[in-house]
């Protein structure tokens, strides 16, 4: 279930590679259970290169969620300091 303050957006390579690497490191136990492999750069490559049967990887949308608060934290802290 999504909570207020989260946004869903399209992931892209290479902009989201570092965030995905961090996510896979934190979810390493699940990735190992699912695939039998420790997540690596190859895991991220696979995410961006795979597509459904007959699909074009370049046409696929890969969604991720991020915190709106993180995106706007600088703006909020600046407005608080002015008060």
Task: Give the model's pLDDT for residue 56.
Answer: 92
If pLDDT is split at 50, 70 and 90, which confidence band does 12 have?
Answer: confident
DSSP result, the chain? ---TTEEEEE--TTTTHHHHHHHHHHTHHHHHHHHSS---HHHHHHHHH--STT--GGG---EEEEEHHHHHHHHHHHHHHH-
Question: Is residue 2 over pLDDT 90?
Answer: no
12-21 average pLDDT score: 88
**pTM (two decimals):** 0.63
Does position 3 have pLDDT exceeding 70, yes or no? no
Between 19 and 66, name the one with better pLDDT.
19
Task: Convert the pLDDT of each residue in 60-74 to its tens digit.
Answer: 888 888 765 444 334
């Amino acid at each position: 279930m999504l909570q207020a303050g989260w946004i869903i957006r399209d992931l892209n390579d290479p902009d989201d590679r570092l965030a995905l690497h961090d996510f896979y490191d934190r979810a390493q136990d699940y990735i190992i259970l699912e695939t039998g492999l420790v997540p690596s750069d190859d895991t991220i490559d696979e995410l961006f290169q795979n597509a459904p049967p007959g699909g074009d990887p370049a046409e696929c949308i890969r969604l991720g969620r991020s915190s709106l608060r993180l995106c706007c934290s600088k703006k909020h802290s600046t407005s608080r300091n002015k008060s």
